[in-house]
A and B are shown apart, each in its own frame.
Chain A
């Protein structure tokens, strides 16, 4: 029999409960006030996120792991940290995208509601304690993202990429479910805590088959090779503001998915999935970094860069140690901060009827808009992994974790590939600083957005100069 639920006992689940209610409130406010005052919903959404963060800090913080709802819900310091970051990243993404949406007639309340439901999906995945809740979280996030990608519904390219995303996503969900059913059948439980106890030692062949399907699902959600085909199309086809969203907060969810499912529930048979992940990670870093060189579209280039970076995150999981998970967590957060900035620059440089998404559109950006070029340079250097920016420390952590877990060949390979990767990030900087500015429109002012972007770029630098701040936080929540 389950214990009676009281208000105090469900308090650790406050973020999810609050967000579910907030989604409904925002939806209703938008229905009644949205048409008369289209700016109400965006502002309200940001307030909702700020209040959510405050509530989480005030009431829902837990010192150690707490299980709720018969173990279906798990929260721990890691979950608190990930949720806070997810809210922050979503808020920043929305801040960057409002003027872009306004210029294209896409500033509708549903956009913000769908973003909030996606965030709820991310929360559910972060706090998933069983296969069932994890899957529902995956679907909640995915359904919201499909709709967001197709949000500009008169745009044929966006509709096409949404369709591809939807069909491939459905196949991936099918794989994930099939793998879950096999693992459930052989482990005898839906709960990760019980699975971790039941599944120990060398895995049977049937279990390995289940794990194969789970790894396929995880790799798809990450966008890792060979399940990466949706990434460039979705990044390129979706409206840039949606790309910004798809590229950032869901990466936190992917990390949570891999952490709860593989490092949590399947901890006892880590030998079987680390080998599979190693192949996926190696291919991702290679394909992502090499194919990115051939791209002429910045959004597509960043998509391949995402594939490459996801490979690094997965390498952290391949290490299979606490240090490896720490490195993966640190890398994920650092990568999302950098990606927010780079897509923020694309959004700021775009205006009504003009998408600044080709590399050529950034020719001579320094001459036209020195501040924007400076921000972009910081972000590109950081993503390339050049010291003293945060991207360097993130890569270093991964190398260190691999080194201490005796994956020497992987360290050498990853280092070589990241050197290849430096080329195309530096090419963006070269285009901005040394090419002649063509006849291109200058970016608009939007002082608020500029300020946020500036802080974003500054964060990349400051976190790189003082890497210990974020690192010790990651260490703290995982130990």
Chain B
């Protein structure tokens, strides 16, 4: 009973957050709504005892990806009104189609029965079951082929992103690692005597 309550509660928040992502006027709010959506989906995963996936979702997506995303959104000066202008022209049609599809899906799920008995709920796993261990056992054996292919997808993403965005332009400040390593203290730090506020010797409490 409690699990069901939690499920419906989190699902409601998830749907609201997902709607927030697409309807928010400010892209920062959209990104924050997405963070909320990730959090609630992580909670849903916890409910089906997939704790490893839930934690990874929070760590990777909320902790790393979305923070980066927020940085980018805040740094880019996006004129939201201008982007939205073209969208609102077809928004009515979009909402109409979305509602038509949702209504049909609800009709199937709710009124016509789905073909499986959903009243039983899922069978609970024993208390000593480890989701992480179960994943580890199949990831490099049974699923080694899709796992390696996923790596290729990431490689393509890197190549595509670099191809489309990296360009030679004046004022670019690339890193030269060799130069950074070879730098000496004298190049960077110059000690100047006799300037700055006159203070007593610093108290030697903690370093």
Do A and B assemble together?
yes
Q: Return the contact of B108 from the options A27, A140, A209 (Cβ within 8 A).
A: A209
The 4 closest A-B pairs by CB, nearest first: A204-B115, A147-B160, A69-B145, A206-B114
Per-residue 0/1 for B145-167: is the Cβ within 8 Å of any A Cβ (1 yes, 0 no)? 11011101101110110111001
Q: Are A133 and B145 in contact (CB under 8 A)?
A: yes
Q: Are A113 and B159 in contact (CB under 8 A)?
A: yes
- In the bound complex, residues from chain A placing their C-beta under 8 Å from that of B146 are 72, 130, 132-133, 136
Of residues 59 through 94 on chain B, the ones whose CB sits less than 8 Å from some CB of chain A are: none
Q: Are B163 and A140 in contact (CB under 8 A)?
A: no
A144 CB–B CB distance under 8 Å: yes
Q: How far is the CA of A224 from the CA of B141 in the complex (A)?
A: 38
Known: A140-B156, A147-B160. A209 touches B105 (CB 8 A): yes
Interface centre among B146, B148, B150 (most CB of A within 10 A): B146
Q: Are A114 and B108 in contact (CB under 8 A)?
A: no
Q: Are A114 and B142 in contact (CB under 8 A)?
A: no
Q: Are B114 and A204 in contact (CB under 8 A)?
A: yes
Q: How far is the CA of A70 from the CA of B150 in the complex (A)?
A: 17
B112 CB–A CB distance under 8 Å: yes
Q: Are B113 and A205 in contact (CB under 8 A)?
A: yes
Known: A110-B163, A204-B114, A205-B112. A144 touches B156 (CB 8 A): yes
B19 CB–A CB distance under 8 Å: no
Q: Are A186 and B115 in contact (CB under 8 A)?
A: yes
Q: Would you call the interface of chain B mostly helix, strand, loop, or mixed? A: helix
Of residues 1 through 41 on chain A, the ones whose CB sits less than 8 Å from some CB of chain B are: 1-2, 5, 13, 20, 23-24, 27
Known: A133-B145, A185-B116. A117 touches B155 (CB 8 A): yes
Q: Are A205 and B115 in contact (CB under 8 A)?
A: yes
B27 to chain A, nearest CB (A): 16
Known: A114-B156, A117-B152, A143-B156. A151 touches B163 (CB 8 A): yes
A139 CB–B CB distance under 8 Å: yes
B149 to chain A, nearest CB (A): 5
Q: Are B159 and A114 in contact (CB under 8 A)?
A: yes
Q: Are A146 and B116 in contact (CB under 8 A)?
A: no
How many contacts between A and B, using CB within 8 angstroms? Answer: 90
Q: Return the contact of B159 from the options A27, A68, A130, A153 (Cβ within 8 A).
A: A27
A329 CB–B CB distance under 8 Å: no
Q: How far is the CA of A2 from the CA of B138 in the complex (A)?
A: 9
Q: How far is the CA of A16 from the CA of B169 in the complex (A)?
A: 38
Q: Are A143 and B114 in contact (CB under 8 A)?
A: no
B144 CB–A CB distance under 8 Å: yes
Minimal Cβ-Cβ distance residue in B for A71 = B142
- In the bound complex, residues from chain B placing their C-beta under 8 Å from that of A20 are 148, 152
Q: Are B163 and A137 in contact (CB under 8 A)?
A: no
B99 CB–A CB distance under 8 Å: no
Q: How far is the CA of A132 from the CA of B167 in the complex (A)?
A: 36
B8 CB–A CB distance under 8 Å: no
Q: Are B105 and A136 in contact (CB under 8 A)?
A: no
Q: How far is the CA of A429 from the CA of B166 in the complex (A)?
A: 43
Per-residue 0/1 for A85-127: is the Cβ within 8 Å of any B Cβ (1 yes, 0 no)? 0000000000000000000000010100110010010001000
Of residues 21 through 64 on chain B, the ones whose CB sits less than 8 Å from some CB of chain A are: none
Of residues 176 through 212 on chain A, the ones whose CB sits less than 8 Å from some CB of chain B are: 185-186, 204-207, 209
- In the bound complex, residues from chain A placing their C-beta under 8 Å from that of B157 are 143
Interface centre among B113, B115, B116, B155 (most CB of A within 10 A): B115
Contacts A68-B145, A136-B150 known; 6 new A-B pairs at CB < 8 A: A20-B152, A23-B152, A69-B142, A70-B141, A72-B142, A72-B143
